[in-house]
């Protein structure tokens, strides 16, 4: 599956929202929408169009200590793919993707535009690298997914 232009297929979008409902112990999509700070019609439209409220999902994952991979149904709950099982060739490929995406968004021009302090940038680079590497492994080198995650994380951190 390739995530392009912030879209996923509507089936996956529905699965993600169902998983979120289970985790939050919410019975209806309307209630879920309100918890996410969205109008029920907005959440329904997003689900139908194969979109997800990424900002809210990332915030909930951070607050609750959830794995974004599991929340986004990229890997099964409780089952993780060990980096040790990957060949060196694949690891090099994944690292190259992470470096390419990170350099794209963490250039000096981007940093100035976001007006983040040096300490926050250093901390963000480390955390971002960990998240993006895990995502690269989980999505088997899907650069579009890594790019989307990077943009989402930077948007949240610069808000």
Task: List pLDDT tens digits, range 57-105.
Answer: 888 888 888 887 777 766 555 444 444 444 666 677 778 888 888 778 7
Residues 94 and 60 in one domain: no
Geometric angle at alpha carbon 148, from 22 and 97, rounded to 5°: 120
Residues 61 and 94 in one domain: no
The pLDDT, as a whole number, for residue 114 is 64
**120 within some domain:** yes
Residues 88 and 148 in one domain: yes
The pLDDT, as a whole number, for residue 158 is 61
**78 within some domain:** no
Retrieve residue 5's tokens. 């232009």
Phi, psi of 7 (to 5 degrees): -120, 145
The pLDDT, as a whole number, for residue 77 is 52
The alpha carbons of the chain give a radius of gyration, in whole angstroms, of: 16
Cα–Cα distances (Å) from 15 to 11, 20, 74, 148, 156, in that order, read 6, 9, 11, 19, 24
**77 within some domain:** no
pTM: 0.44
**66 within some domain:** yes
Domain holding 103, by residue range, is 83-158
């Amino acid at each position: 599956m390739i995530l392009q232009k912030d879209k996923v297929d509507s089936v996956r979008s529905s699965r993600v929202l169902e998983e979120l409902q289970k985790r939050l112990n919410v019975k209806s999509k309307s209630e879920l929408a309100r918890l996410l700070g969205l109008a029920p019609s907005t959440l329904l439209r997003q689900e139908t169009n194969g979109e997800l409220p990424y900002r809210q999902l990332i915030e909930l994952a951070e607050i609750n200590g959830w794995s974004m991979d599991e929340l986004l149904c990229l890997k099964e709950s409780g089952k993780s793919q060990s980096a040790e099982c990957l060949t060196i060739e694949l690891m090099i490929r994944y690292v190259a993707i992470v470096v390419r995406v990170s350099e794209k968004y963490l250039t000096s021009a981007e940093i100035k535009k976001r007006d983040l302090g040096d300490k926050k940038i250093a901390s963000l680079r480390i955390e971002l690298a960990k998240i993006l590497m895990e995502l690269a492994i989980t999505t088997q080198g899907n650069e579009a997914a890594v790019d989307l995650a990077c943009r989402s994380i930077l948007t949240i951190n610069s808000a």
